[in-house]
């Protein structure tokens, strides 16, 4: 989204919609075999982690200790939700 500069650049703007379509399509397929709460947690957690990594590596955003700890908490939450599904 940042590379599209407010939808003023064609290729990044088109790629936004292409990647969102792929993401939602794969999410829909995942829902066939995974509970919606677990699937959404994984989808959101993975997306958050991926965007954070892209921001740090591509856009040179600072990798602060708080940011890294927060990412670990998000990942731990997703794992916890997945494990809680197995307990019941």
Task: Give the mean model confidence (pLDDT) for residues 70-81.
Answer: 89
78 shares a domain with 55: yes
| Same structural domain, 46 and 77 | yes
Closest CA to 84 of 49, 46, 33, 38: 38
pLDDT digits (tens, 9 = 90+) for 15-54: 999 999 999 999 999 899 888 988 888 888 888 999 999 9
Rounded to two decimals, the pTM is: 0.73
- Closest among 54, 55, 43, 41 to 84, alpha carbons compared: 41
Show Cβ contacts of residue 79 under 8 Å, excluding neighbours closer than 6 positions.
none
Spatial CA neighbour of 42 closest among 83, 88, 1: 83
Write out the residue range of the structural domain in which residue 24 sits: 1-32
Report how far residue 56's alpha carbon sits from residue 59's, in angstroms, rounded to the nearest whole number: 6
Residue 83 sits in the same domain as residue 43: yes
């Amino acid at each position: 989204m940042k590379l599209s500069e407010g939808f003023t650049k064609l290729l990044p703007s088109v790629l936004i919609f292409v990647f969102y379509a792929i993401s939602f399509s794969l999410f829909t397929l995942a829902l066939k075999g995974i509970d919606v709460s677990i699937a959404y947690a994984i989808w959101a957690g993975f997306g958050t982690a991926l965007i954070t990594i892209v921001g740090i590596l591509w856009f040179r955003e600072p990798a602060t200790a708080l940011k890294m700890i927060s990412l670990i908490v998000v990942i731990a939450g997703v794992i916890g939700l997945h494990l809680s599904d197995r307990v019941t």
